[in-house]
Amino acid sequence: MSDIKFYFAPMEGVTGYTLRNVHHACYPGVDAYFTPFIAPNQYHAVNPKEHRDVVQANNAGVPVIPQVLTNKAELFLWSARELKEKYGYNEVNLNLGCPSKTVVSKHKGSGFLEDTEKLDRFFDEVFSAVEAASSQSEPGSAENIYPRISVKTRLGLDSVEEFVEILRVYNKYPLSELIIHARVQKEFYKGEPHLDAFGDAVKETKHSLCYNGDIWTLEDYIRIRELFPSVKKIMIGRPLMANPELVQELQAYEECMESGREWNGYENSMVLLKKFHDKLLQGYLDRMNGDGNNVLFKMKELWGFMSRQFPEKERLIKKMVKANKIEEYERLAEQVF
Ligand SMILES: Cc1cc2nc3c(=O)[nH]c(=O)nc-3n(C[C@H](O)[C@H](O)[C@H](O)COP(=O)(O)O)c2cc1C
């Protein structure tokens, strides 16, 4: 086994518990699945949808790390305790990356990166409380009321230069790890990740770093590994939805390199991909009590990512995702595979 850890990135509306369970069953090997964010509110209640997504009964045997989106220390501390005590999680991740306008306008997600003094005060309050509760035990341990706290961040809002100050704040606090999506807010998901700025972060950080952004192929992965050999954690989102077998390929490559064998490439299994697809369809049918429209919506979303594996089937896929009956969808999906 290589010492590289692979994480499935959180994706709101996409990587809910059904997807995570099916992925883990078909393609074991991902070290942690981060949940789409939970947004705690003043009423201190986890809403029913969020509850279903994080409750252990729906995540049995799957390594999951829940993510929280807030800019209020008190709400973050409450959710961290709740997720540890009631839901049994030893690590909670703070979302400082979401670029969506509605989130940013409330100064949350990457919007919180705008004001580093406020960010500093937030962490000061959070870690003062955690420290006060940690004289006898480490956060994340059975005796402690708090889990470990990690952060997923972007490099800034408008420019990567902002990250110098942001990182200075992160370096003051005992984060369990720092995941960097190497883009700024205004880029959303477009353009190339800023590898130079990530490289600066590698030099300046006091934290255990995880790289995230546009690892679509083995070649992309090798480039990141060669540029940043000290980084041992890799998070992948959209590319893993496009090719659910990608982490297995990267792991096979790592194992091959370690054993000194020659790399002869990797063949994805279409049989396994069909199994993944069929299990996911069934998972959504079970969860949504056969509500065809909603299930078709979820499958359409999947094909938004996966269709790039089938360039020659473009027309058939277009027809399939327009299907308005499950039976028709299934018939066309058979043809695609
Ligand atoms: C539809 C969608 C939803 C996302 N939701 C979240 C989220 O809830 N929390 C988060 O931290 N990042 C979220 N992200 C960002 C991803 O986790 C990831 O950082 C981004 O896609 C870049 O990685 P990739 O190139 O491997 O996809 C989302 C991205 C997409 C495309």
CA of 151 to the centre of ligand 1 (A): 14
Q: Which atom of ligand 1 is nearest to the CA of 183?
A: 22
Q: What is the residue range of 296's domain?
A: 270-336
Question: Is residue 264 one of the residues assigned to a domain?
Answer: no
**Ligand 1, atom 28: nearest CA belongs to which residue?**
11
**Ligand 1, atom 15: nearest CA belongs to which residue?**
11
Q: For ligand 1, which residues put their CB under 6 angstroms from it?
A: 9-12, 14, 36-37, 67, 95, 97-98, 152, 181, 189, 212-215, 236-239
CA distance 17 to 13: 10
Please state the pTM of the whole predicted model.
0.98
Question: Is residue 265 one of the residues assigned to a domain?
Answer: no
What is the number of other CB atoms lying within 10 angstroms of the CB of residue 13? 9
Q: Which atom of ligand 1 is nearest to the CA of 212?
A: 23
Q: How close are the terminal C-alpha atoms of the chain, in Å?
A: 32
Determine the length of the chain: 337
Question: Is residue 226 one of the residues assigned to a domain?
Answer: yes
Same domain? 188 vs 93: yes
Contacts of 229 (CB under 8 A, 6+ apart): none
Q: Which atom of ligand 1 is nearest to the CA of 152?
A: 11
Question: Is residue 290 one of the residues assigned to a domain?
Answer: yes
Same domain? 177 vs 205: yes
Residue-level pLDDT, tens digit, the chain, 337 residues: 789 999 999 999 999 999 999 999 999 999 999 999 999 998 888 999 999 999 999 999 999 999 999 999 999 999 999 999 999 999 999 999 999 999 999 999 999 999 999 999 999 999 999 999 999 999 999 999 999 999 999 999 999 999 999 999 999 999 999 999 999 999 999 999 999 999 999 999 999 999 999 999 999 999 999 999 999 999 999 999 999 999 999 999 999 999 999 999 999 999 999 999 999 999 999 999 878 899 999 999 999 999 999 999 999 999 999 999 999 999 999 999 9
Query: Is-contact 242 213, C-beta < 8 A?
Result: no
Query: Is-contact 36 14, C-beta < 8 A?
Result: yes
- Across the chain, the runs of DSSP E, i.e. the strands, are 5-8, 32-38, 64-68, 91-96, 148-153, 178-181, 209-212, 233-236
Same domain? 305 vs 242: no
CA of 9 to the centre of ligand 1 (A): 6
